[in-house]
Amino acid sequence: MNDPTTEPAAQANLQYRQVGKPLTRTDARGKSTGELRYAGDHVMPGMLHAKVLRSPLASARLKRLDATKARNLPGVAAVLTAAELPGRLAPTDLPGQTGRKRTDTDQQILVKETVRYHGEPLALVAAETVAIAEKAIALIEFELEELPVVSDPFEAMKPGAPVVQGSNNVVAEHKIRKGDVEKGFAEAATIVENIYQTQFIEHAFLEPEVGLAWVDEFEVTNIRMSTQVIEHFRYVADALDLPHNKVRVIGSLVGGGFGGKEDVTVEIYLALLARHTMRPVRLAYTREDSFFGHGKRHPFHIKHRTGFTKDGKITALEVSITTDAGAYVFLSPYVLLYNAVAAPGPYRVDNLKIDAVAAATNNMFTSAFRGFGSAQACVAYEAQMDEAAKILGLDRLELRRRNFIATGDTMSTGFPIESATWTEDCMDQAWTALGEKTPDHGAIKVGRGVAAYQQSYGRMTWVHDTSEAWVGMEMDGTVVVRSGITDIGAGQTSALGQIAAELLGVGLDNVTIYNSDSATTPLAGTTTATRGLLMSGNSVRLAAEAVRARFVERAAKEWKVPPETIDLGERRIFVADQPDYSMDLKDFVAICASEGILRSELAMYRAPFTEPIDRETGQGRVFPDFTFGAQAVEVAVDTGTGEVEVLKSVGAHDIGQAINPAAVAGQIEGSSHMGQGYALSEELVYENGQLMSPSFSEYLMPTSMDVPRYQAIILESRSGMGPFGAKGIGEPALTPVAPAVANAVADAVGVRVFDLPITPEKIVKALRCKKL
């Protein structure tokens, strides 16, 4: 194995002054006092309140819509229906990128004639108070003629099925071919075949979607918004037929995103109402609105057929993948692609055939959710490894060790991994951290499971992803960073501050970060696809390095020493080991300023640019790089009732270099919780397209009473493409969790539940079947 790491971890972290330290985040204090405001915490004089009227049916024709009574209600400023928006469409393709032309998946902003999902917006109201807006909604009269519903992707692809999208409901297909699967299966001593099914999941960010829009004196439409993507100003402009430079998005602190605030949510409604009324308009979704208001996690049906030698080496893999795109395309083609590419997992597979299809139905549309298809792939491939180990009679960890992909090996799309693949080390450390096994007692059976994974960080490379940032030093030596990055709670902005502080020799508390304003901060691209650190971290690094280089050059001239001997630290610039050659940055920067030396830099980081992969073979580069890691879980299952208690849960991940280890650990712990819910208790139930669970009383995330102490183990190979060798963690941390929980439960009861969530009832049923 060609290990690209060059420096022992401990040494590097000792050298850094800011990076690698669990510094208090810049936003933490203000959140603890409630001082920091979110998008819904702003008021403006004359502000109107908006509400959305939604379809109670999943598939229908809108025969009549009459808003007269609503419009006449005192206090109502506007009611908008499709009739007032002639031909306007909302873009739904890949958000916030400039590298490729948008595909034509634009959707109606308000229902004109055809309702395609339960909750699809029929009308918008803006009124003086929320209560009046609610009354107005109730006064809008409408008539819906029920149409046939298709609520299963397999049904949707049968001839004669109701057509929801396109000509036959197929909205995306992907194929990946590598090597020779027939030959591979012929060489297999054992073939393992199983079908795995995952469920619709809700992001359930604590802060429902919310925004406030107004038109200013320059006729710019401003939208203060809780979003992962300020670049939606372009989509708003396109939807309203405005110039891009006449729409501004000011991204607020986001109370959780997880992919659910990646698409446009309320921005277009706000812009329409603000421009129609020429008054500020606020739209705050209720929790129920939120269940209907953004795309959900794709449920996947994954058939895995794997060939193994008697020693457990994978010889061939065939995967058939079907997913439910729901009523509109949104990001389904890409989620499908991620899933297909990830299908083999972090294992060497030389012969594979992967076929994936996404079909539209009248269920809620599905879109981005942390893990973006790769998480669902891991549910399948890691269960498959455990099932195979059982059949082969091999230790589960050993089977994995024999197949782990290594640096230099090629992934499913034929592209070689260039960074470190410390999967085995992560798996072993996570497993060891489980400690001594809790003994069975009475009806309680204890089981353990592990799941390893690979998860991409950075966007698909043919998107030609770029990100900009500005870094500068003030006359007093303090530092300013400007970046369009949205902070959705993982400490995105604080990390940028740490990077700038490290390179410019100041403390984190000497840095002010201005972020997420499309008018005033350089555009960074989306906070999605685990790209924040790679893209913005690198653009901040490039900007800071440029400033540093100029300072170092000037100081070198001043002190007549080689530039490589000069360092910045503790708000000073100095020659290493030469105490006489040292100056306060404040004094130094004054010299630079007076000489016209630029104290700031606007930099762009470019991720690797490629062409799209081959349509027939799926071969080519898809992602910049991958994070590798593992989760180990111990559960106690009550074999009488089927209840599962998670006793221990450990995530071990090689994240390259932790910029802020506390933030990284927080991501691992939080993901351990989110993944547990994914495995055991969360599901959105759609019956004939109707959402049966639109509140937190039915949609069950783990509470504090359901959690063990999660444990995070951070490994640092320093081999990533991010700043200081960092990789990404946001999505990777979640990917192995549900699979590990599922494996632990199967280990405990000796039988597997093949569809998530693994509820107590399903366990009881599986145990009954096992007895027969």
Residues numbered 18-47 forming contacts with another protein, rule: CB under 8 A = 22, 24-25, 27-29, 31-38, 40-41, 43
Q: Closest approach of Cβ 751 to another protein, in Å?
A: 16
| Identified binder of another protein from the candidate list 429, 671, 735, 743, rule CB under 8 A | 671
Q: From residue 534, how far is each of 21, 99, 607 by CA, in Å?
A: 18, 17, 8
Q: From residue 370, how far is each of 259, 290, 300, 643, 657 by CA, in Å?
A: 6, 17, 15, 27, 21
Task: Count CB atoms within 10 A of the CB of residue 762.
Answer: 16
Given the rule CB under 8 A, which of 109-117, 179-187, 399-407, 670-678 is the region that contacts another protein? Answer: 670-678
- Binding to another protein (CB under 8 A): which residues in 733-772? 759-761, 764-765
Provide φ and ψ at 342, rounded to 5°: -85, -10
Provide φ and ψ at 611, rounded to 5°: -90, 160
| Identified binder of another protein from the candidate list 480, 593, 662, 751, rule CB under 8 A | 662
Q: Closest approach of Cβ 238 to another protein, in Å?
A: 29
* Smaller CB separation from another protein, 42 or 390: 42
Q: Closest approach of Cβ 705 to another protein, in Å?
A: 3
Per CB under 8 A, does 400 bind another protein?
A: no
Amino acid at 609: F
Rounded CA-CA distance 686/688 in Å is 6
Per CB under 8 A, does 73 bind another protein?
A: no
Task: Count CB atoms within 10 A of the CB of residue 755.
Answer: 18
- Binding to another protein (CB under 8 A): which residues in 90-119? none
Per CB under 8 A, does 489 bind another protein?
A: yes
Rounded CA-CA distance 551/507 in Å is 18
Amino acid at 665: A
Given the rule CB under 8 A, which of 274-282, 428-436, 601-609, 690-698 is the region that contacts another protein? Answer: 690-698
* Smaller CB separation from another protein, 288 or 474: 288
* Smaller CB separation from another protein, 550 or 765: 765
Given the rule CB under 8 A, which of 89-97, 343-351, 478-486, 638-646 is the region that contacts another protein? Answer: 638-646
Alpha helical stretches, state H, 568-653? 585-594
- Binding to another protein (CB under 8 A): which residues in 118-147? 131, 134-135, 138
Q: Closest approach of Cβ 366 to another protein, in Å?
A: 19
Per CB under 8 A, does 627 bind another protein?
A: no
Query: Residue 310 carries which DSSP code?
Result: T
Q: Closest approach of Cβ 207 to another protein, in Å?
A: 4
Q: Closest approach of Cβ 697 to another protein, in Å?
A: 6
Q: Closest approach of Cβ 228 to another protein, in Å?
A: 12
Provide φ and ψ at 156, rounded to 5°: -65, -25
Per CB under 8 A, does 542 bind another protein?
A: no
Burial status of residue 101 (CB atoms within 10 A of its CB: 0-12, 13-18, 19 or more): exposed
- Binding to another protein (CB under 8 A): which residues in 151-210? 203-208
- Which pairs count as long-range contacts for 3-10, CB under 8 Å and 24+ apart, including other chains? 3/407, 3/420, 3/717, 4/407, 4/418, 4/419, 4/420, 4/717, 4/719, 5/420, 5/717, 5/718, 5/719, 6/718, 7/718, 9/715, 9/716, 9/717, 9/718
Q: Closest approach of Cβ 18 to another protein, in Å?
A: 16
Q: Is the peptide bond before 95 cis (omega within 30 degrees of 0)?
A: no
Rounded CA-CA distance 27/29 in Å is 6
Per CB under 8 A, does 398 bind another protein?
A: no
* Smaller CB separation from another protein, 37 or 770: 37
Q: Closest approach of Cβ 200 to another protein, in Å?
A: 14
Rounded CA-CA distance 423/1 in Å is 13
Given the rule CB under 8 A, which of 139-147, 306-314, 613-621, 697-705 is the region that contacts another protein? Answer: 697-705
Nearest to 188 by CA among 304, 314, 303: 314
What residue has token string 């034509």?
104
* Smaller CB separation from another protein, 38 or 581: 38
Task: Count CB atoms within 10 A of the CB of residue 638.
Answer: 18
Query: Residue 730 carries which DSSP code?
Result: T
* Smaller CB separation from another protein, 261 or 621: 261
Q: Closest approach of Cβ 183 to another protein, in Å?
A: 45
Amino acid at 73: L
Q: Closest approach of Cβ 687 to another protein, in Å?
A: 9
Per CB under 8 A, does 703 bind another protein?
A: yes
* Smaller CB separation from another protein, 139 or 249: 139
Per CB under 8 A, does 709 bind another protein?
A: yes
Per CB under 8 A, does 435 bind another protein?
A: no
Q: Closest approach of Cβ 189 to another protein, in Å?
A: 40
- Binding to another protein (CB under 8 A): which residues in 298-337? none
Structure token pair of residue 37: 């405001």
Count Cα neighbours of 465 within 13 Å in the Cβ-side half-sphere. 27
The answer to whether 478 touches 506, Cβ cutoff 8 Å, is: yes
Q: From residue 262, how far is each of 259, 339, 509 by CA, in Å?
A: 5, 19, 30
Q: Closest approach of Cβ 374 to another protein, in Å?
A: 20
Q: Closest approach of Cβ 254 to another protein, in Å?
A: 6
The answer to whether 258 touches 205, Cβ cutoff 8 Å, is: yes
Rounded CA-CA distance 540/79 in Å is 45
Count residues contacting another protein (CB under 8 A)?
79
Nearest to 304 by CA among 293, 294, 292, 318: 318
Nearest to 296 by CA among 330, 336, 337, 255: 330
| Identified binder of another protein from the candidate list 672, 717, 719, 743, rule CB under 8 A | 672
| Identified binder of another protein from the candidate list 172, 254, 715, 740, rule CB under 8 A | 254
Task: Count CB atoms within 10 A of the CB of residue 460.
Answer: 25
| Identified binder of another protein from the candidate list 259, 326, 484, 666, rule CB under 8 A | 666
Q: Closest approach of Cβ 378 to another protein, in Å?
A: 19
For β-strands 281-284 and 48-54, DSSP reports them as parallel
Q: Closest approach of Cβ 33 to another protein, in Å?
A: 6
* Smaller CB separation from another protein, 22 or 408: 22
The answer to whether 627 touches 729, Cβ cutoff 8 Å, is: yes
* Smaller CB separation from another protein, 3 or 128: 128
* Smaller CB separation from another protein, 476 or 761: 761
* Smaller CB separation from another protein, 116 or 261: 261
- Binding to another protein (CB under 8 A): which residues in 267-296? 284, 286-287
* Smaller CB separation from another protein, 228 or 719: 228
Nearest to 516 by CA among 205, 213, 221, 229: 229
DSSP SS3 for 537: helix
| Identified binder of another protein from the candidate list 490, 534, 585, 589, rule CB under 8 A | 490
Rounded CA-CA distance 610/415 in Å is 12
Query: Which DSSP string do the residues of 330-362 spell out, in sequence order?
Result: TTHHHHHHHHHHHTT-SB--SSEEEEEEEEE-S
* Smaller CB separation from another protein, 31 or 586: 31
